[in-house]
Structure 1
Amino acid sequence: MHLKRTLFALLLAALCLPALQAKFGLLPIRPLEGWFVVSPHPELSYEALRNNEYQPKLEAYLQDRLGFRSALVRLNYQVAYSVFDVIRAKALIRGYNDVLFQDWPIDSYYGRDYVGDTMIRQWVRKMKVVQDSLTQRGVLFVFAIAPNKAAYYPEYIPEAWRGPRKTSNYWSTVREMQRQGIHLLDFSALFRQKKDTVSYPLFPRGGTHWSGYGTTLAADTLLHYLEQRGHFDIPDYRVNGRDIVDTTRGYDADIATALNLMVKPQPFRMAYPRLEYLDPKPGQKKPNVLIIGDSFVWSFIDFYDFFPRLFDPKSTFWYYHRRVGWPGQAPLLQNVGTGADVSRLDRKAELEHRDVVLVLYAEYNLNQLDHGFTHHTYPFYERLSSTDSARVGVITQEIRADWGLMSRLHQEAIASGENFDTYIREKALNRFEAEQ
């Protein structure tokens, strides 16, 4: 009888503990990490109850906040990873030698997301107009391609994800930019060139971005390139040794962290240079730079402080050409939905009062070209002959005569925050480009 009561008490405690943990936080539990959305508390209404919408939303809300949930999820994921070689996190892949990948960089490496020569050629032609127009206004334009971990470590891609290599957005973009004379800084080629000569990893085992060591290599190359092209002398910094460690810093375990394991995979031995930024000398200049790009930019901003320390304080980062992400905003995914909306800025004025406009996207993000930067900037500087202008005018009238199309474009313009007449003009120019 005593044993039964003890077992019953233990069972009752086991049932009550999650609720008590959720309410009072009895034990410190590490929350889950990575990109996911916690279910909000649903709004109670008669319609939601009648349509059976409230109940499942409430269940999801309570489930996300169940006591010890994150610890149990980590235990489940750890067993799957260590015993069954299965990754529970979405879109993450365990390669050979425990090197971790995301799936879309692998697809990019094999050319599975190729957008086609025609689209890339039209995009680069418009970019050349933007570059030349900014040059006439004393603004240096540079397009930089950050490397793809899958292209850097193809030997670690698991067999199930391999396949024939086709024409990729990267190779087509590089070829077309070189042909048309775009100021191109190809970090992808640089990293592959350095792979067999560097002493420490340029990509971490458990991260998707360039390592801290790789960041310093990229920054040194970028700064010298800007000095050469822009004809100005940026303040100096020096390296005062390196920390050689078996742990990671900054973003060097971003994929491993997103696995939500109890014990992260062992990283490579990493090197983290110790930097000292020197006071500007007479004649040196901190350039005013507008950066448009993806998450690879953050390593220059809040890992090693290259941009805050060496660029003018008025410099700005447009994260994916959507939000103003720096200065004053949180990095990476946490800044989505915060900061000024780029579409509401006077973008032409923002471009033309800079010393440098730097566009930097990872190799695997080229399937989205430059996420609308050239598309929205080209109309500021388009230079068409009288014959071409007349043809664009005819196309514009054809678009305006199609009421169904006009209704759809009106909704798209509202959703994107664009002026309606400007949006129609862009569509006419795109159709004109397709005819060329």
Structure 2
Amino acid sequence: MRGRLLQSLPILGCAGLLGVMLLVNLWNAAVGADWPKLRIRSAEQLWGVTAPAPPQWSLDAFLSGETQKIVSARMGMMQPVFPISVRIRNQFLYSLFGVSGAPDLLVGRERTLFEKSYVSEFCARGAAPDLAAVEAWATRLRAIQEAVAAKGKGFVYLISPSKAARNSDLLPSQVACPARALQSDKLAPWRAALDAHGVAYVDGATLMTQKAADYPIRLFPRGGTHWNYLGAALAARELTHRLNAGGPSALPEYDFDWRPRAEAQGTDIDLLRLMNLLWQDRHYPTAEIIGNNARACERRPMIFAAGGSFTVEVLINLIETPCRPVADFWHYVRHDPGVFGRGRHIVESREAFDQETAPGMVSAANFRKALEGADVVLLEENESVIGEMGQVGDLLEATR
């Protein structure tokens, strides 16, 4: 009797585990909609992992297997053991083979992380752009600058960098990348058009290449996709110099001191978080910035900024100064070619960038109202998508 009981223990244990998991799923399904905080889940949830779209309950979807596939995936992600299972798998791939378990990330030399989209864009470079499109783009920027200047506001356009383009020496060796050998300057015709139209701009992408040898640390963190705060501070300094070139601006010239930071945090670990590892090694060199203003401010300047995610570090450097500017940041994200999402953050500290945007805040009327109340207008595009984003058209429309 005792022997048969011992032989049955593994079966009973598995049955008990399955029963517990069934009860957990039933509980989560019961409370998930109305009381989500009561759900049973892992202590640390996964970064960047979203549940599949709801299944399609149609005969065609069922016969094709699409319904069953989505239901299975959603049920699997409901399990409390799902996050830890993903982390164990990703850690195994990363530690033993030096590859990423996250589908959109690549692991390069020195364990440097890259987003695939930036790598694909850089490695496909070489063809000349449509010069008529470049000319039309620069014409729009000139019209924005003139309209903003007519309202007594400062204006500057920023080209932010691509980590893949500026740290191409760290790209994975197995990636076929002809552009790495070509050493072509994608931005040359874009700069020429800006110069021809007299647009006030800062080429922050080329600036990163020029300044890379001046500092003992890289200007992009190993585990992040954006420039670190040192790289962004260099761009912020150039932006304010350009704003004040024709006379004092409401936003005074910016300068900074910096010191090394041994443990990365914030946006310096955004890709490392998306790796969803068991053990995140955050001990790699990055920078801490102490910002200064060249002169005192009579009042707190208001910065209107429209751009992508690279604008965040620049704005944080600018607002963490004695003048304490306020930034009204309109954050643009490209979902597909020609399809954009827009969020808004009114920030006086870096913590405000973590707050969700209320849907009513991002209307066209509020966009124009925010522009009217600004002292300085900052417009940003990344070199990887220059001329392709929605903020240029929106800003032009708001100035008309």
| TM-score interval for Structure 1 and Structure 2 normalised by the shorter chain | 0.7 to 0.9
Q: Which residue of the other structure, out of 210, 229, 233, is the alignment partner of 1:193?
A: 210
Name the SS for the 2:114 alignment partner. strand
Closer, same or farther in 2 for the Cα pair 1:107/1:233, shift >3 Å? Answer: same
Q: Is the 8 A contact 2:126 2:184 kept in 1?
A: no
Q: Is the 8 A contact 2:260 2:285 kept in 1?
A: no
Residues in 1 aligned to 2:255 and 2:155: alpha-carbon distance in whole angstroms: 27
Matching residue's letter, 1:232: S
Q: Which residue of the other structure, out of 375, 379, 382, is the alignment partner of 2:393?
A: 375
Closer, same or farther in 2 for the Cα pair 1:279/1:42, shift >3 Å? Answer: farther
Which position in structure 1 is the counterpart of 2:34? none
Q: Percent identity?
A: 23
Q: CA deviation at 1:133?
A: 2.9
**RMSD, aligned CA:** 3.7
Residues in 2 aligned to 1:225 and 1:11: alpha-carbon distance in whole angstroms: 68
**2:131 matched to 1:104?**
no
Q: Is the 8 A contact 2:344 2:362 kept in 1?
A: no
Name the SS for the 1:327 alignment partner. strand
Name the SS for the 2:142 alignment partner. helix
Q: CA deviation at 1:291?
A: 0.5
Residues in 1 aligned to 2:108 and 2:12: alpha-carbon distance in whole angstroms: 46
Write out aligned runs for 1:130-169 (5 A). Answer: 130-159=144-173, 160-164=175-179, 165=182
**2:133 matched to 1:119?**
yes
Post-superposition Cα deviations, 1:47-92, rounded to whole Å, max 9, x if no partner, equal: 6589648765544432221121010011112222222333221221
Residues in 2 aligned to 1:381 and 1:298: alpha-carbon distance in whole angstroms: 23
TM-score of the aligned structures, taking structure 2 as reference length: 0.77
Post-superposition Cα deviations, 1:387-430, rounded to whole Å, max 9, x if no partner, equal: xxxxxxxxxxxxxxxxxxxxxxxxxxxxxxxxxxxxxxxxxxxx
Closer, same or farther in 2 for the Cα pair 1:195/1:168, shift >3 Å? Answer: closer
Q: Indicate the larger mover: 321-330 or 170-179.
A: 321-330
Q: Which residue of the other structure, out of 284, 306, 317, is the alignment partner of 1:292?
A: 306
Write out aligned runs for 1:378-389 (5 A). Answer: 378=396
Matching residue's letter, 1:293: G
Which position in structure 2 is the counterpart of 1:341? 362
**2:330 matched to 1:318?**
yes
Write out aligned runs for 1:141-290 (5 A). Answer: 141-159=155-173, 160-164=175-179, 165=182, 170-229=187-246, 231-232=248-249, 234=251, 242=259, 244-245=261-262, 247-265=263-281, 267-273=283-289, 275=290, 281=296, 284-290=298-304
**2:374 matched to 1:354?**
yes
Which position in structure 2 is the counterpart of 1:129? 143
Q: Is the 8 A contact 2:158 2:381 kept in 1?
A: yes
Residues in 2 aligned to 1:375 and 1:240: alpha-carbon distance in whole angstroms: 36
Residues in 2 aligned to 1:168 and 1:184: alpha-carbon distance in whole angstroms: 17
TM-score of the aligned structures, taking structure 1 as reference length: 0.72
Q: CA deviation at 1:208?
A: 0.5
Closer, same or farther in 2 for the Cα pair 1:11/1:380, shift >3 Å? Answer: closer
Listed as ranges, the gaps of 5+ residues in structure 1 are 383-436
Closer, same or farther in 2 for the Cα pair 1:218/1:254, shift >3 Å? Answer: same
Q: Is the 8 A contact 1:169 1:366 kept in 2?
A: no
Residues in 2 aligned to 1:267 and 1:21: alpha-carbon distance in whole angstroms: 37
Post-superposition Cα deviations, 1:350-373, rounded to whole Å, max 9, x if no partner, equal: 4344322110122213151xx233
Which position in structure 1 is the counterpart of 2:106? 93
Q: Is the 8 A contact 1:256 1:264 kept in 2?
A: yes
Closer, same or farther in 2 for the Cα pair 1:158/1:211, shift >3 Å? Answer: same
Name the SS for the 1:79 alignment partner. helix
Closer, same or farther in 2 for the Cα pair 1:41/1:83, shift >3 Å? Answer: same
Matching residue's letter, 1:156: L
Residues in 1 aligned to 2:69 and 2:258: alpha-carbon distance in whole angstroms: 56
Q: CA deviation at 1:162?
A: 1.3
Name the SS for the 2:268 alignment partner. coil
Residues in 1 aligned to 2:87 and 2:167: alpha-carbon distance in whole angstroms: 28
Post-superposition Cα deviations, 1:144-190, rounded to whole Å, max 9, x if no partner, equal: 11121112211111232311448665333222212221101111122
Higher strand share: 2
Closer, same or farther in 2 for the Cα pair 1:285/1:213, shift >3 Å? Answer: same
Residues in 1 aligned to 2:255 and 2:123: alpha-carbon distance in whole angstroms: 39
Residues in 1 aligned to 2:195 and 2:253: alpha-carbon distance in whole angstroms: 30
Closer, same or farther in 2 for the Cα pair 1:335/1:365, shift >3 Å? Answer: farther
Closer, same or farther in 2 for the Cα pair 1:350/1:338, shift >3 Å? Answer: closer
Q: Is the 8 A contact 2:157 2:378 kept in 1?
A: yes
Q: Is the 8 A contact 1:19 1:66 kept in 2?
A: no
Post-superposition Cα deviations, 1:289-329, rounded to whole Å, max 9, x if no partner, equal: 2100001122244x55727974654x411111853421169
Residues in 2 aligned to 1:323 and 1:310: alpha-carbon distance in whole angstroms: 28
